[in-house]
Amino acid sequence: MDAVLLLIGVISFVVGLRVFLTKNRVQRLLYLCCLNFAISALIALYIKSPMGGVVAAAYFIGSTLSSNAIAHTIGKVQRLEGRGEW
């Protein structure tokens, strides 16, 4: 356990808590983005081999793709409902 791991652990804990506490769906997506960064960094730091890098990259690109899809869907739904409130 060193400073880098401790810092990333504390940050992911704080952000993970805020994901549950916030009510706004869009803000939750922003916190999740930060959490994804932290998790892929932890994967790479724990699995200290080239395979760890591949796993971290795969997780990261996959999570970005799903965030993209969720945000896109929120936008589409709001357009369909035609309401100004987000």
Partner 1 sequence: MEVSWVELIKLLISTGVCWTNFVLIDTYFGLPRKPGVLGAEVIGKTLEKMGGDLNGGYFMGNIVCSPDASAGTLMAAIFYYLLGFKGGLIATLLVYIGNRLCNDPGYAGTFGTFSATVIIHLLSGFIEPRYFIGGMIMAIFTIQGLYHVGASKVLGYIGRKLGMI
Site residues (vs partner 1, CB under 8 A): 1-4, 6-8, 11, 14-15, 18, 24, 26-27, 29-31, 33-34, 37-38, 40-41, 44-45, 48-50, 52-53, 56-57, 60-61, 64-65, 67-68, 70-72, 74-76, 78, 86
Question: Which residue lies nearer to partner 1 by CB, 20 or 75?
Answer: 75
Q: How far is the CB of 80 from partner 1 (least distance, A)?
A: 12
| Burial zone of 28 (CB within 10 Å; 0-12 exposed, 13-18 middle, 19+ buried) | middle
Q: How far is the CB of 83 from partner 1 (least distance, A)?
A: 12
Distant-in-sequence, close-in-space partners of 14: CB < 8 Å, separation ≥ 6: none
| Burial zone of 2 (CB within 10 Å; 0-12 exposed, 13-18 middle, 19+ buried) | exposed
Q: How far is the CB of 60 from partner 1 (least distance, A)?
A: 7
CB atoms inside a 10 Å sphere around CB 9: 13
